[in-house]
């Protein structure tokens, strides 16, 4: 197996751009001159899973919060509608 022409520091910085800063693999490949296949190999060694980045995690957390808020809103609307119907029913009965 031949020795890589890239230093470990260069590999670490390149991987950091992708994993932590969320820069795309193809963009990093173009900027550094390293093939995307090589970058994917480095990422695999570093334990990176495809589609994983800081921004992706933030979006996922936001999506989860939005989903929970939508469910809560649906519940509150249903309760409001029930109370409206009950109020109308009792208002009509007392007159």
- Give the residue-averaged pLDDT of 33-38: 90
> What's residue 4's pLDDT?
76
- CA gap 19, 17 in Å, rounded: 6
Distances in Å between the Cα of 83 and the Cα atoms of 7, 78, 86 are 69, 9, 5
Express as a percent the part of the chain with pLDDT over 90: 28
Which pTM value belongs to this model?
A: 0.48
Distance CA 15, CA 19 (A): 6
Provide the mean pLDDT of the chain: 83
Q: Which of 17, 2, 7 is nearest to 48 (CA)?
A: 17
CA distance 78 to 67: 17
45-91 residue pLDDT tens: 888 765 555 555 566 777 888 899 999 999 999 999 999 999 999 98
């Amino acid at each position: 197996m031949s020795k890589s022409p890239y230093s470990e520091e260069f590999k670490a910085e390149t991987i950091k751009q992708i994993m932590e800063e969320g820069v795309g693999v193809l963009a990093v490949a173009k900027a550094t001159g390293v093939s995307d296949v090589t970058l994917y190999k480095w990422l695999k060694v570093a334990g990176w899973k495809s589609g994983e980045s800081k921004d992706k995690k933030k979006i996922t957390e936001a999506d989860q919060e939005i989903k929970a808020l939508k469910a809560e809103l649906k519940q509150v609307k249903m309760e409001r509608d029930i109370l409206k119907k009950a109020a109308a029913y009792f208002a009509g009965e007392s007159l």
